[in-house]
């Protein structure tokens, strides 16, 4: 089967009303922006297609009107099923205003769903999501009042509880690749990750749908290394070569960097810049102290991203292997616009296989964001007031990692600090408390963690808590911090306080390397 080579306008014209569309991408990388622009333009001009269902795995977009936010129009979209929404504000607006149906499903489950659909299986059976908002006994993944249909149910196998996520039928795939040959074979060597493009193409093809791939260039048969082909031509129906550099960037506003795609190696000196000593560095430094030799870890967005920087500064990169859920294994995970990539990785695997590793307990430790914590040790990173962020891979990773380290400032919105003579000084307190009586949404279950005897730490710039059998317990306090004024008065509940309450390691608060490599 030879695919058709068409324009982006011709490609999106095959999309019909009520189709279910799957898009590829990871945050600002590997998004089929050219196809999404063409689809939006068609709808705004003709009012068609309408009542679409959108399915995507990882967060996609840059927090503006690009990428999946181009689906954010009434009547164009009827339903969305995704892992993360923070980068797609127009979708979030439709959801909170009850204009569309919406579900938030853990990212790893969505990866597995694509593969199970491709294999004609009835759905995904997993423990991921138990006792969180994904659990049908709590919210069942539903995000608003107009979302009525159940997408997940509780089942029992051999006396153990599992969640069953229903399978789906897909009609259209919109995928970003690097090159296509004349038989439609697609390579991904210019992207920094291949995401789940193979699973998408197989699932849509086996559902009888149409796979549309946007590429940077069409090349002659035989010019692609078959080991670099991620999507065989037998799973591709249409290929679109995009000329506009803004619509085919490796990362939004970044045309191409060979090192991010694993096509070049950088020296540690050329790619490393120490971060200044501020509250985020304090948090990352304390978190890095939890790493044991030989550990395999994962870094989340926000303060956890800085753990990689601290490990490099301390010269202990060889003591651990860091991974990113998008696929990189080893190297130095990147932050900001480049989040999802790694410099000098050992391997870059497909995202579904990364989550297989995570779900099976392959991670020794993970560092994840700390947004809202309650008295039971529950954590919320997915919903705040009317703002829907989504869980992404947070549930998969936190629930299955052997040790969990949550990293974030103690308060937020206006917090100002300084380090003076090796002590932390709070110049201005944040307006919003993060330690509350009850979280708005349960993204991490403290009860489940205690049942499984999982080591869990909550690290802030001024205090460290541990989740113990008896409850959330304060175990360390920063030098210069007043227990009552700076900690207890800034919480909506009183935590347990360890009888052996310690001062955080003094080296954390000095503007020089801590010497972790010497200690080890």
Task: Point out the residues that are catalytic.
Answer: 325
Query: Rounded to an integer, what distance in angstroms lies between the CA atom of residue 390 and that of residue 103?
Result: 9
CB 192 within 8 A of CB 166: no
CB 94 within 8 A of CB 74: yes
Instruction: Give the DSSP H or E segment for 118.
Output: helix 107-118
CB 104 within 8 A of CB 83: yes
Instruction: Report the candidate in 391, 41, 19 with the shortest Cα–Cα distance to residue 174.
Output: 19
- Per-residue b or e along 54-81, where b marks 16 or more CB atoms closer than 10 Å to that residue's CB: bbbbbbbbbeeebbbbbbbbeebbbbbb
* Residues in Cβ contact with 482 at an 8 Å cutoff, skipping those fewer than 6 apart: none
Query: Rounded to an integer, what distance in angstroms lies between the CA atom of residue 237 and that of residue 239?
Result: 7
What CA dihedral angle connects 335, 336, 339 and 345, to 10 degrees?
A: -40
Assign 149 to helix, strand or coil. Answer: coil
* Residues in Cβ contact with 480 at an 8 Å cutoff, skipping those fewer than 6 apart: 420, 423, 424, 425
Degrees to nearest 5, angle at CA 273 with 268 and 275: 135
Q: Tokens for 222?
A: 């035989």
* Spacing of C-alpha 102 from chain mean position: 18
Instruction: Give the DSSP H or E segment for 102.
Output: strand 101-104
Positive or negative: CA dihedral 432, 436, 442, 448: positive
Query: Rounded to an integer, what distance in angstroms lies between the CA atom of residue 168 and that of residue 515?
Result: 52
Query: Rounded to an integer, what distance in angstroms lies between the CA atom of residue 487 and that of residue 498?
Result: 14
What CA dihedral angle connects 61, 64, 68 and 72, to 10 degrees?
A: 160
CB 344 within 8 A of CB 320: no
Degrees to nearest 5, angle at CA 501 with 499 and 502: 150
Instruction: Report the candidate in 476, 520, 514, 481 with the shortest Cα–Cα distance to residue 497.
Output: 476
* CB-neighbour burial class of residue 493 (10 A; exposed 0-12, middle 13-18, buried 19+): middle
């Amino acid at each position: 089967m030879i695919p058709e080579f068409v324009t982006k306008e011709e490609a999106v014209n095959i999309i019909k009303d009520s189709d279910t569309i799957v898009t590829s991408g990871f945050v600002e990388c590997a998004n089929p922006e050219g196809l999404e622009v063409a689809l939006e333009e068609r709808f705004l001009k003709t009012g068609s297609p309408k009542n679409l269902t959108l399915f995507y795995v990882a967060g996609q977009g840059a927090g503006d009107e690009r990428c999946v936010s181009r689906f954010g129009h009434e009547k164009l979209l009827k339903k969305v099923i995704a892992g993360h929404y923070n980068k797609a504000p127009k979708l979030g607006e439709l959801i909170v205003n009850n204009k569309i149906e919406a579900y938030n499903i853990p990212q790893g489950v969505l990866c597995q769903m694509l593969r199970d659909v491709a294999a004609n299986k009835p759905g995904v059976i997993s423990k991921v999501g138990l006792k969180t908002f994904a659990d049908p006994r709590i919210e069942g993944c539903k995000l608003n009042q107009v979302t009525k249909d159940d997408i997940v149910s509780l089942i029992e196998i051999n006396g153990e509880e599992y969640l069953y996520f229903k399978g789906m039928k897909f009609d259209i795939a919109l995928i970003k690749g690097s090159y296509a040959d004349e038989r439609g074979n697609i390579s991904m060597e210019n992207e920094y990750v291949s995401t789940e493009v193979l699973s998408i193409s197989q699932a849509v093809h086996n559902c009888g749908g149409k796979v549309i791939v946007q590429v940077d260039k069409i090349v002659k048969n035989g010019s692609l290394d078959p080991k670099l082909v991620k999507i065989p031509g037998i799973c591709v129906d249409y290929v679109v070569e995009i000329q506009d550099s803004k619509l085919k960037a490796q990362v939004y506003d970044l045309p191409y960097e060979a090192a991010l795609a694993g096509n070049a190696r950088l020296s540690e000196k050329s790619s490393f810049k120490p971060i200044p000593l501020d509250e985020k560095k304090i948090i990352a430094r304390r978190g890095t102290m939890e790493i044991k030799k030989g550990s395999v870890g994962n870094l989340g967005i926000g303060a956890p991203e800085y753990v990689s920087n601290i490990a490099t500064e301390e010269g202990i990169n060889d003591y651990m292997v860091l991974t990113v859920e998008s696929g990189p294994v080893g190297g130095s995970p990147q932050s900001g616009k480049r989040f999802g990539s790694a410099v000098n990785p050992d391997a870059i695997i497909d995202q579904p296989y990364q989550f297989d590793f995570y779900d099976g307990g392959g991670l020794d430790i993970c560092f994840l964001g700390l947004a809202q914590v309650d008295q039971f040790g529950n954590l919320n990173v997915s919903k705040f007031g009317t703002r829907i962020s989504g869980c992404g891979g947070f549930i998969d990773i936190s629930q299955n990692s052997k040790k969990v380290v949550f990293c974030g400032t103690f308060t937020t919105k206006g917090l100002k600090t300084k380090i003076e003579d090796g002590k932390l000084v709070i110049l201005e307190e944040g307006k919003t408390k993060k330690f509350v009586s009850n979280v708005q949404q349960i993204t991490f279950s403290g009860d489940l963690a205690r049942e499984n005897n999982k080591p869990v730490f909550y690290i802030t710039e001024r205090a460290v808590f541990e989740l113990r059998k008896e409850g959330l317990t304060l175990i360390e306090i920063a030098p210069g911090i007043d227990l009552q004024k700076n900690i207890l008065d800034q919480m909506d509940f009183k935590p347990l306080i360890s009888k052996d309450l310690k001062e955080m390691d003094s080296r954390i608060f000095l503007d020089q390397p801590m010497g972790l490599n010497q200690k080890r």
